[in-house]
Structure 1
Amino acid sequence: MKLGYTALTLLPLVGLAIAQDSYIDPDNGIQFWGTTDPVHGVTYGYTLPPLNAGYDEFIGEIVAPIEAKWVGASPAGGMLNNLLLVAWPNDGNVVFSARIARVLEGPKITSLPWTKVNASHWKWVYRCQNCITWEGANGPVSLPIDGFGASAWAYSNVAVTTPSDPASAFGQHTDFGFYGLDWSSAHVSKSQYDAWAAGETGGEPEPTPTTPVPTDPPTPTPTVAPTPYDYIVVGAGPAGLVTADRLSEAGKKVLLVERGGPSLGSTGGTYQPAWLQGTNVQTMFQDNNPFWWCKDINVFAGCILGGGTAINGGLYWYPPDSDFAPANGWPESWKNHQTHTNKLKQRIPSTDRPSTDGKAVVERLLRPIGYRDAVINDYPNFKEKVFGYSAFSFIDGKRAGPISTYYKTAVARPNLFYSPNTVVQHVVRNGSKITGVQTDNPYIGPGGFVPLTEKGRVILSSGSFGSARLLFKSGIGPKDMLDIVKGHATAGPNLPEETDWIDLPVGENVSDNPSINLVFTHPEIDAYENWAQVWSSPRQDDAAQYVKDRSGVFAHSSPRLNFWRSIEGSDKKVRWMQGTARPGAASVETEFPYNKTAIFTITTYLSTGITSRGRIGIDAALTGRALKNPWFVDPVDKETLVKGINELLSSVRFVEGLKLITPDNTTTLQNYVDSYPTGNLNSNHWVGSNSILKVVDENTKVYKTDNLFVVDASIIPSMPMGNPQGTIMATAEQAVAKILALSGGP
């Protein structure tokens, strides 16, 4: 029996950076737990009173260079519905306030005596009372003070509007990030905390609780020559799993390297809440331990077997012909994709397990403006004013996708070796020829080096950010990115000589769907806000039903219905709008009363035909991040999406009881979209950083190399019609067929 994750909603976070150990502030002797951002040099720290002592507060600090015009700290992580503490220097003082997408009433913040500003830095040390629990848009939100969490920071080099006013408006941050924090270790004794909170210095810091961690094993001395492989596939996400399975099926000797660990229960995953004990179903959603996030990419990414397919919303669309059309950047040789897409469909058929909750309401919204009902994956080329149940790659009420299919057959073959928890540092090359990969795992090669056979090949399948970064660290990409690697203490010495650098537009031509959320209420909707407590206290009947026969609300993800239509922009170009409807809401912006139990969200996206492009790259810490955001760079993209949303909202009057609450009637749709936070436009469907015919050729081989290939979302040159999971795997099916047919290989 195949078991896997329940399909629960995702945490509203987009990245993670490594947390540092505790430190002691020399000005006051306070022991803080937190991190120092290596790019901007800002330190964020927290210390808490004892657990179960009745406190609702903590002491925190921000230490920033004077160039930081304002800095924000979000101890609970996401910027939506979460406490955000913002501060900035002004005339020798530090000005501060507590916010939650607005100035937040409730927290009492006191600057402690060590707050100061000098010529080079400013420091804010503060006591934040009424700050462990606060009222979010949809109910109370709390810090995970007895466990692990993900905190966030925001940084701007642009000053606030009115620096003397704590309630001043300010623009979108110029940078942001997340980091893991073990809140359970960040507590001190009552007497020590009370002294620090009263402004007293010194004291004896508490010893940091520690969990024994095994020391790194000694590097073994190989007694035999290292094992060479015909193919080394880097990354076990959707593309890597398809690629490794087809290569091993063809009899090639394959090494599949994945930086994360197991995911589904069938792969050894055992992480689960108490109500799932007795099953081997694993779930990682709505818990405070984000062990499955990539820690060095500043957007949401899964470093775990299955990659994004193990943690995303699960929407699975068969690609239409337009996804591989020359008009959308693909070579002519790719347009006849159906043979390869059919192979995908045979391995992973889609299911649109219907849920009546909400479909009737949205259907009544769409029919008056000409939409028709369909089983969407039965007609992948039919997307003009069509709606239908959301489709998933789940099997028997459990997340499955490529993990329960391609991975299952691949690892059963003796000619494939799977190495989890192994990080590939860079590709090792001699000029244009790749000789192997350098990893951090000494057990798969001497010093972590794994060689290729004489005609062997390396295939990067680490995603739009991961594969681009590996190319940078291997001396392939724009000079400004390679210069950053060159200056890095550990990665720099491993770069090829500068004369062997390969100048390609890695990281350019990046697309992502801009998305706008519309929040409604309707008396027929069950918002199911219990998603937020699903880890610790789900509805008992729902939990029992799922444990019994893998059915009910936990047997699918939150989307219920999807729809599409084409829209011609003022530039005469056709773009496509997608809509996804789901119960609940990430945030609500209204001052009017509303029924919190009856809210639902329609997220509108712009997809195929989008003309805006951005750029991704790395920073001084080699963290993958967006260097130029890809949303609404071309104003016609925004104009077109607003046009589609206006058409949708024109039908609200036809649905009795339907009420739009975000945006509400205090603003216009245009103003709502114009003021939409840039980061919230992110759909996390990044494609194009290693675009085909720009970075790789029509066989997916990296230009100016002999045997280096890329097969993942990064080679897709333009936005697919729908959520890209299906298109990524169909791309891999066609790519691996071309690679195997290419002369000169093993």
Structure 2
Amino acid sequence: MCCSNPAFYISVYVLAVNLFGLYLRFVYFHNYFECFACRELDFKDQAYDYIVVGSGSAGSIVARRLAENPSVKVLLIEAGASGNGILQIPTVSLMLQDSVFDWQYRTVPQKHACLGLDKKVSHWPMGKILGGTAMLNNMIYVRGHPQDFAEWYKDSCNFNYTIDVLPYFKKLESNETNKHKCSVFVEDMPFKSNLSDYFLQAGLCLGFGLSDGVNSEPGFSATKVTMRNGQRWTPYHQLEKTKKRNLVVITNSLVEKVLLKSNYEAYGVKYTHLDETYYVRATKGVILSAGVIGSPKILMLSGIGPKKHLEKLKIAPRLDLPVGENLQDHVTTGLDLITLEAPPDMGLQQMLSPWSASRYFLWGEGPWTSPGCESVGFFNSEDEKIPELQFMILPYGAAIDGGSYLRGLVGIGERLWEGYFRRVNGSTMTVLPVVLHPKSRGTVRLKSKDPRTPPLIDPNYLAEGYDVDILLEGIELVKEFLETPPMRRLGAKLNAVKFPGCEGLEFDTRPYWVCYVRHFTLSSYHPVGTCALGRVIDEGFQVKGTNKLYVVDGSVLPSLPSGNPQGAIMMMAERAAEIIKHHCWLSQRRCCSSDVFQDQCSCY
């Protein structure tokens, strides 16, 4: 019977993916022609108080908070198109990757990592849509560890986590009293597979406790997700719900550069909209929230960046700053590393079931609400205060669809597919060991001064031996989990197929696993650091040496938090919005409430 044949479900899945790809193009071009129809709206002569570039999590929060003042006029510029409610279905996010709603970034070929991937490059999906990358991610919400933020503000004389960070987390998170004022809804997963409980039980067997799922504490938990009533819910959706008339949003508009006066004061931006060039002014500030790739790109195109690099591209340097440096990412490995005798209750059959579709559209529940990653765990060694390793547990692997779609998102070429993934017998699941605080650092550089040309992205994965060691510790810990009774009941075993490129090494030895992680290096899609606090921006989120020019997004994080960075980025955006509103430095904020020191603060 067809209903018990995996090939049948793969065929239906391939058809569904192709049809949905056509639907995405229809949505994209429908938005494009909507913009074309309203082309008579001339933005050239408009002036705003603030211009925010990028509608991702950070940009949406900043724009919404600034627009809370009815006397302030805010323009939010998004390079991508708008979506619709269908794109808020959580499981749709994978099909948005490599689509018209994705920037489709690729790294340069890696020297020390990604050796088994197609062309030795890593795929970096990033949202080109209202809502930004939060429309493509797994919706996982983690605050991080308090020590993360103390490290970021180590040069601040009076930093206090409970005063300077925790209130902003609480401000952005939903609760019973702030549903209309919060920036995002944080909820428990509406659905999880049977594998999630098995793995949590295995953790208890090994002595790991249960954590609250929000703070990066040692132990395991089901993931907390940014979701509302079964729908993906980003800060842009909250902005849209509470949008004021003094906030203008335009799409399909690529910002090419920041306009700077001779004293390095930002007074507007240059952008293209439907192939026409526009200049728009800002009287109080320009805030770049274009992401870890987009923000440094715009700064460098504006003449702010490494002087020698800009001169090489014949861009007149205005400020010599380490823009585009300090790039770092949560590196991982281990896709399809575990085989199962019994398939989980989360696969193509469940996803394609009409009952699953009915459950979603009628009640906002069921497999279609799955975030992908169902459980997370954090681990630290005895001499470390903060976690150094994270587990992300997924009830499936790249082989679930027979190589029809998912492998292309990761960069698994034909040789790797045929030599490894196709040879796996039975079902697989994935436990991704994530290096939380990698030592390797990379760069983002312009390829040319054409704003439409993708930049050169080099994360320099696994250049430092520490990163390899942590991944190997993670694999050893995975093996310990497989020996627990709950995992044995599942028939979970280590995938014994030798990885292509490592065939000459003895399986399950340190040399083999070193070869494995260098060949099969994966991004967790958590890059940060290219406009880092203390290096490119000051504690007021203002670009050093400039006036009225700010950066607020993941690029300002000087180092990675202990966990998925979405929560930390949104917290920083809440913090930045308040600082920009009052135009005060962090060290001056407390003085602004006193009349005695008003003349020393630039609050208004």
TM-score range, shorter chain: 0.7 to 0.9
CA contact (8 A) 2:152 2:558 kept: no
Residue 696 (1) aligns with residue 537 (2): yes
Within the candidate set 30, 42, 45, 1:226 is matched to 45
Identity of aligned residues (%): 26
Residue aligning to 1:338: 166
Residue aligning to 2:237: 404
Within the candidate set 138, 141, 146, 1:321 is matched to 146
Residue 302 (1) aligns with residue 127 (2): yes
Within the candidate set 526, 534, 542, 2:344 is matched to 526
CA contact (8 A) 2:196 2:395 kept: no
What amino acid is the match of 1:414? R
Residue 604 (1) aligns with residue 437 (2): no
CA contact (8 A) 1:464 1:689 kept: yes
3-state SS of paired residue (1:562): strand
How far did residue 612 of structure 1 move?
A: 1.9
Matches of 1:289 and 1:716 in 2, distance apart? 26
Residue aligning to 1:645: 475
Deviations 1:406-442 (A, max 9, x none): 3422x2x121111122111111112211121111138
3-state SS of paired residue (2:173): helix
How far did residue 546 of structure 1 move?
A: 1.6
Residue aligning to 2:73: 253
CA contact (8 A) 1:328 1:717 kept: no
Superposition CA RMSD, Å? 3.8
What amino acid is the match of 2:358? A
Matches of 1:695 and 1:629 in 2, distance apart? 18
Within the candidate set 223, 246, 249, 1:390 is matched to 223
Map 1:361-372; keep pairs closer than 5 Å.
361-372=198-209
How far did residue 145 of structure 1 move?
A: 12
Counterparts in 2 of 1:146 and 1:741: CA distance versus 1, 3 Å: closer
Residue aligning to 2:582: 741
Residue 501 (1) aligns with residue 333 (2): no
Within the candidate set 619, 627, 630, 2:447 is matched to 619
Residue aligning to 1:549: 363
Counterparts in 2 of 1:685 and 1:624: CA distance versus 1, 3 Å: farther
Residue aligning to 1:292: 101
What amino acid is the match of 1:559? C
Residue aligning to 2:353: 539
Matches of 1:591 and 1:237 in 2, distance apart? 34
* Larger proportion of strand: 1
What amino acid is the match of 1:247? L
The TM-score normalised by the length of structure 1 is 0.61
CA contact (8 A) 1:220 1:442 kept: no
How far did residue 638 of structure 1 move?
A: 1.4
CA contact (8 A) 1:147 1:288 kept: no
Matches of 1:602 and 1:225 in 2, distance apart? 51
Gaps of 5+ in 2: 1-6, 26-31, 108-123, 175-181, 400-416, 499-505, 585-601
What amino acid is the match of 2:440? S
Residue aligning to 1:66: none
3-state SS of paired residue (1:372): coil
Matches of 1:215 and 1:580 in 2, distance apart? 40
Counterparts in 2 of 1:334 and 1:250: CA distance versus 1, 3 Å: farther
Question: With CA pairs under 8 Å and 6+ residues apart, which has the higher RCO, 1 or 2?
Answer: 2
How far did residue 673 of structure 1 move?
A: 3.7
What amino acid is the match of 2:66? L
Within the candidate set 714, 726, 745, 2:567 is matched to 726
Within the candidate set 548, 557, 567, 1:716 is matched to 557
3-state SS of paired residue (1:610): coil
How far did residue 283 of structure 1 move?
A: 4.4
Matches of 2:508 and 2:233 in 1, distance apart? 43
Residue 437 (1) aligns with residue 265 (2): no
CA contact (8 A) 1:509 1:691 kept: yes
Residue 263 (1) aligns with residue 83 (2): yes
How far did residue 524 of structure 1 move?
A: 5.1
Gaps of 5+ in 1: 1-134, 151-181, 183-211, 487-494
CA contact (8 A) 1:613 1:630 kept: yes
The TM-score normalised by the length of structure 2 is 0.75
CA contact (8 A) 2:326 2:441 kept: yes
Residue aligning to 2:285: 457
Map 1:578-589; keep pairs closer than 5 Å.
578-587=390-399
Matches of 1:239 and 1:700 in 2, distance apart? 12
Deviations 1:682-708 (A, max 9, x none): 222110000000000011100111110
Matches of 2:96 and 2:105 in 1, distance apart? 20
Residue aligning to 1:374: 211
Deviations 1:362-420 (A, max 9, x none): 1243233321123322xx15x12x101111011111101313323422x2x12111112
Counterparts in 2 of 1:327 and 1:730: CA distance versus 1, 3 Å: closer
How far did residue 139 of structure 1 move?
A: 9.5
Within the candidate set 310, 317, 333, 1:482 is matched to 310
How far did residue 468 of structure 1 move?
A: 0.5
What amino acid is the match of 2:367? V
Residue aligning to 1:654: 484
CA contact (8 A) 1:329 1:717 kept: no
Counterparts in 2 of 1:679 and 1:617: CA distance versus 1, 3 Å: farther
Matches of 1:283 and 1:331 in 2, distance apart? 42
